[in-house]
Amino acid sequence: METRNTIQKQTILMAVKELANHPTAEQVYEKVVEKLPNISRATVYRNLSSMADRGLLHRIGVPGGADHYDHTLETHYHVLCTECGALEDIWLQESQADLLKLANEKSSFSIQNYQLVFHGMCPCCKAKADALNQLH
């Protein structure tokens, strides 16, 4: 159950922090491979996954796409652009406890947490879509 301190782990965690904005495992790999040319994708996947399990990172699961990883641990939410896949933070002080309490009252499940992902269009894709609509 002990955890060894390898160069790969250090470099992967550093990469997520440097990339800052919700990189996918592939993006982390591309960053890390600059420093460690022989690293394997399997190592990146394995470590991101175990760091997420241990709470060093948050995993943002995107159905039908690659998972993203977030080095920001404070409770917040995300918007996903339905056009280009851009992922951004949303900070709501919407009380987490309330949704959890409410859900637990309404369900026989023992609910521990939840994932709230908003879907919409980023400003860039919205502008393009609006311009297209103008043409007819």
Residue 19 or 111 with smaller CB distance to a copy of itself:
111
From the list DNA, a copy of itself, none, partner contacted by residue 55 (C-beta under 5 to 8 A by kind): none
> How many angstroms separate the CA atoms of 66 and 72, rounded?
18
In sequence order, what are the residues at sequence separation of 6 or more whose Cβ sits closer than 8 angstroms to the Cβ of residue 50? none
Encoded amino acid at 2, one letter = E
**Contact set for a copy of itself, span 56-95 (CB under 8 A):** 61-64, 67, 77, 79, 81-82, 88, 90-92, 94
* Kind and range of the H or E run holding 133: helix 123-134
In sequence order, what are the residues at sequence separation of 6 or more whose Cβ sits closer than 8 angstroms to the Cβ of residue 65? 85
> How many angstroms separate the CA atoms of 65 and 87, rounded?
12
* Of the candidate residues 31, 43, 80, 87, the single one contacting DNA (CB under 7 A): 43
Residue 2 or 98 with smaller CB distance to a copy of itself:
98
Binding residues for a copy of itself (CB under 8 A): 61-64, 67, 77, 79, 81-82, 88, 90-92, 94, 99-100, 102-103, 106-123, 126
